[in-house]
């Protein structure tokens, strides 16, 4: 393991504070990112137990974003067309943004966060409120194995992925397909999106690293789609090595090649990235300093886990950003971990709100800019740190 990036002391990214516990000491951990030259895995060193992160208070709901709802809807149609599955299972079904596109008899959700699982259960979807593991896989698929297993933005959260793949091997039909979707390491490094690293994102995968891991479980990637969600993600189509129905698509070779050409298999690439991260911090602080000098009012948009990393790493103070707007009901009237900046219920931006808006949810830039056309027309500006801190 070679450490290449130290993002300092960080609170748990999704542990939003109530007014009454604002003065309590927050649990913090040192966010250090490392590279394993043997299997090319990039991961954070100090991890937080899954029970502390994924419980009945988990705030993230996929359905609250139009972009995500739309992406899941489109993709579920594609799955039905391409694989014609009789039974689909989703690991990390969240509030049902994906599974709600399927016939209730043909889909199973697995979601350990009770508050989220309750939503899909109440709608009549078969949902197991458990962590995905071999025992659960055996229990669920005793009678019928699954044709497609889908999991988006979940694998990167799971430290012990060996259990995940063993459970997949138990439950997947011999000709079944595992589809994983996670932020792309190549996009993360290219865009200096260091905020992809926080307590929940234990790993940010490259396809070359994922294939090395899959080899240990007799699984292989046969197709890769590059998607735009979460700032650039990869959708990996994986099969058992014994399954010869699906040929290895050219997309796999191309992704492997692009990643190697960029140098994702070499520590020197990550060291260069770390230098750019440091520069990004200096530049962002400079932008804020200059705007404050001119007495400009700055607020934030999208109180994301990602912005928690940025704000704490850059040591941005409460007074710099007045407050954040966010649409997630659970976050409203709470405070961002570490910086304790207040989160207010979102309303359409006007120039009265602010002169400058820090884009915490930069991964939804397109959706947000469309929504805030009026604000932009009236001279309102956004600040984004990706790929380099600048006023947009
Ligand atoms: P997300 O991108 O999932 O980031 P992370 O995984 O880093 O937490 O979260 C997006 C957040 O941004 C979520 O809290 C909802 C908020 N948001 C808005 O407030 N308005 C919007 O228009 C969009 C698209 C998101």
One digit per residue, pLDDT tens: the chain, 392 residues? Answer: 999 999 999 999 989 999 999 999 999 999 999 999 999 999 999 888 888 878 887 877 888 888 889 999 999 999 999 999 999 999 999 999 999 999 999 999 999 999 999 999 999 999 999 999 999 999 999 989 999 999 999 999 999 999 999 999 999 999 999 999 999 999 999 999 999 999 999 999 999 999 999 999 999 999 999 999 899 999 999 999 999 999 999 999 999 999 999 999 999 999 999 999 999 999 999 999 999 999 999 999 999 999 999 999 999 988 999 999 999 888 999 999 999 999 999 999 999 999 999 999 999 999 999 999 999 999 999 999 999 999 99
Query: Does ligand 1 have an atom closer than 6 angstroms to the CB of 363?
Result: yes
Q: State the angle between helix axes of 161-171 and 207-215 in degrees (0 to 180), rounded to the nearest 10.
A: 60
The two structure tokens encoding residue 1: 């393991």
308 contacts 10 by C-beta, under 8 angstroms: yes
Cα(356)–Cα(155) distance, rounded to whole angstroms?
35
Cα(142)–Cα(90) distance, rounded to whole angstroms?
17
| Ligand 1 atom at minimal distance to the Cα of residue 301 | 19
Query: Does ligand 1 have an atom closer than 6 angstroms to the CB of 334?
Result: no
Site of tokens 């490392």: 34
Q: If you measure from the C-alpha of residue 303 to the centroid of ligand 1, how many angstroms do you get, rounded to a whole number?
A: 7
Task: Please give the domain boundaries of the chain with CATH numbers for all domains.
Answer: 2-35+268-391 (3.40.50.720), 42-264 (3.40.50.150)
Q: Where are the beta strands (DSSP E) in the chain?
A: 2-11, 28-35, 42-44, 88-91, 107-110, 126-128, 146-152, 172-183, 203-204, 219-227, 233-240, 298-301, 323-326, 342-345, 356-359, 381-384, 390-391
201 contacts 183 by C-beta, under 8 angstroms: yes
Q: If you measure from the C-alpha of residue 360 to the centroid of ligand 1, how many angstroms do you get, rounded to a whole number?
A: 8
**pLDDT score at 60:** 77
**pLDDT score at 281:** 98
Residue to mutate (ligand 1; options 200, 364, 369, 376; most atoms within 8 A of CB): 364
Query: Does ligand 1 have an atom closer than 6 angstroms to the CB of 346?
Result: yes
Query: Does ligand 1 have an atom closer than 6 angstroms to the CB of 355?
Result: no
| Ligand 1 atom at minimal distance to the Cα of residue 65 | 24
**pLDDT score at 50:** 84
Query: Does ligand 1 have an atom closer than 6 angstroms to the CB of 302?
Result: yes
Residue to mutate (ligand 1; options 58, 61, 65, 183; most atoms within 8 A of CB): 65
Cα(148)–Cα(386) distance, rounded to whole angstroms?
35
Query: Does ligand 1 have an atom closer than 6 angstroms to the CB of 29?
Result: no
């Amino acid at each position: 393991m070679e450490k290449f990036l130290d993002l300092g002391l960080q609170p748990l990214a999704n542990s939003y504070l109530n007014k009454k516990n604002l003065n309590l000491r927050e649990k913090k951990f040192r966010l250090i990112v490392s590279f394993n030259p043997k299997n090319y895995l990039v991961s954070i060193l100090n991890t937080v137990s899954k029970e502390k992160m994924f419980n009945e208070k988990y705030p993230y709901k996929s359905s609250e974003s139009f972009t995500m709802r739309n992406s899941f809807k489109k993709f579920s149609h594609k799955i039905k067309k391409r694989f014609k599955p009789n039974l689909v299972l989703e690991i990390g079904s969240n509030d049902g943004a994906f599974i709600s596109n399927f016939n209730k008899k043909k889909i199973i959700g697995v979601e350990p966060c009770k508050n989220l699982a309750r939503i899909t259960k109440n709608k009549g979807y078969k949902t197991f409120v458990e962590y995905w593991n071999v025992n659960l896989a055996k229990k669920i698929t005793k009678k019928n194995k699954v044709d497609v297993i889908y999991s988006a933005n979940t694998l990167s959260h799971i430290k012990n992925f060996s259990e995940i793949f063993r459970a997949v091997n138990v439950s997947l039909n011999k000709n079944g397909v595992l589809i994983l979707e996670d932020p792309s390491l190549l996009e993360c490094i290219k865009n200096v999106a260091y905020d992809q690293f926080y307590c929940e994102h234990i790993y940010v995968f490259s396809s070359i690293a994922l294939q090395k891991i899959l080899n240990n479980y007799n699984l292989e990637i046969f197709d890769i789609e590059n998607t735009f969600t979460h700032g650039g993600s990869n959708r990996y189509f994986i099969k058992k090595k014994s399954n010869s129905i699906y040929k290895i698509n050219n997309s796999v070779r191309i992704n492997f090649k692009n990643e190697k050409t960029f140098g994702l298999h070499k520590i020197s690439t990550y060291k260069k990235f770390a230098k750019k991260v440091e520069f990004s911090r200096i530049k962002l602080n400079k932008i804020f300093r200059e705007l404050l000098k001119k007495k400009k009012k700055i607020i934030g948009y999208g109180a994301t886990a990602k912005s928690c990393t940025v704000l704490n790493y850059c040591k941005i103070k409460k007074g710099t950003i007045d407050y954040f707007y966010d649409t997630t009901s659970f976050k409203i009237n709470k405070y961002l971990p570490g910086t304790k900046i207040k989160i207010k219920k979102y309303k359409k931006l006007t120039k009265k709100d602010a002169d400058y808006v820090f884009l915490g949810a930069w991964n939804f830039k397109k959706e947000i800019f469309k929504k805030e056309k009026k604000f932009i027309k009236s001279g309102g500006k956004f600040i984004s740190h990706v790929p380099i801190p600048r006023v947009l």
